[in-house]
Amino acid sequence: MPERLGAVWVIAELTGNRLTEVSLELLGKARALAAQGGGSHTSAVLMGNDTGSLAEELIVHGADRVFLIEDPRLALYQNDLHAFVLADLIKKHHPEIVLFAASYCGSELSATVAARLGTGLAAHCTDLRIDDRGELVQVVPAFGGTVLGDIFCRETRPRMASVKPGIFPKPEREATRTGEVIKETAAVLEGYKSPLKAVRIVRRQPPELPLEKAPAVVAGGWGVGAEGWHFLEKLAGELGGAVGCTRPALDEGWAQSEDALIGTSGKTVRPRIYLGFGISGSAHHIVGMKDSGVVININQDPDAPVFRISDYGAVADAKEFLPVLLEKIREHKEE
């Protein structure tokens, strides 16, 4: 058993006035690391305005302590302000490990804070554990996901890592759990005038069925084309699932939003059934869907690498295959 490590922190992330799922997923992993680290504390950092009521939610999901910083200047995520406040808090309390969501905000915030503290950050980790020397092993896919690298941060503290949503399971809510709420301030911002100003806030409607929760994912790639895309949406509707995509389909604007991207820079999905159309099977995409239940792919190239990870495959033109499949499913439902 290694010496007892210092505290493991999770930086809680908000969407509107709710905690994101990934914040809770990270708490589960933080507790596991704290246990492996000889019984260290698990703490969460909650920065915002009027967010105090969420501290309880963090405690019942595994935080022993919540550092709560409420300030009107932190109401909206703003990189410079949040990074100043968080770096200051870390300098004051010296946590051993700090975990962030690898979301847009979390990726930016973690990198800024790491640079400010002069410490290391392993981004987009797919696993984290403490080895028997007490080192934090940060597992990161490299070379498009074909290799998993173990990253160590031996010389500087804290050790920081970011993790995408959906990688770790969300811990059960333990309603009887108790913890301590420690109020801190954003005093470090006194006298600081940010060069950034929010001009407009546009709230995107979250999808009815988030991709990572869909039991069926219908994914489209470059081979589907703009003209075939609406079939994917219809098919997902018939299957009670959601549409996912590859990077080229997103860049072309066929997919509705970044929320649909699957892979290294997108989401990790584990649906019961994954149906892919016109997807080549690059490691950057596969890394985000390889743990799906049944994997079916349709590609016109019989040598497409995606067939190597498929349970079933059809060599066909996706644009011709999709309307036929849709019709068959509808007929079957009517029987």
d(CA 85, CA 101): 17
Of the residues 62, 106, 241, 248, which one makes contact with ligand FAD according to CB under 6 A: 248
Shortest approach of ligand FAD to residue 207 CB, angstroms? 18
Of the residues 162, 280, 297, 310, which one makes contact with ligand FAD according to CB under 6 A: 280
> Which CB, 67 or 274, lies closer to ligand FAD?
274
- Verify binding: residue 222, ligand FAD, rule CB under 6 A: yes
28 contacts: CB under 8 Å, gap ≥ 6: 61, 62, 168, 169, 170, 171
> Which CB, 171 or 228, lies closer to ligand FAD?
228
125 contacts: CB under 8 Å, gap ≥ 6: 102, 138, 139, 140, 151, 161, 162, 163, 167
- Verify binding: residue 295, ligand FAD, rule CB under 6 A: no
User: Please, are residues 211 and 262 in contact by the beta-carbon 8 Å criterion?
Assistant: yes
d(CA 120, CA 102): 15
Of the residues 32, 58, 217, 261, which one makes contact with ligand FAD according to CB under 6 A: 261
Closest by Cα among 326, 282, 318 to 297 = 318
- Verify binding: residue 325, ligand FAD, rule CB under 6 A: no
Residues of span 5-44 touching ligand FAD by CB under 6 A: none
Shortest approach of ligand FAD to residue 219 CB, angstroms? 9
- Verify binding: residue 269, ligand FAD, rule CB under 6 A: no
Backbone angles phi, psi at 305, to 5 degrees: -55, -25
Three-class SS of residue 66? strand
| Interacting residues with ligand FAD (CB under 6 A) | 221-223, 246-249, 261-266, 278-280, 282, 284-285, 298-301, 304, 317-319
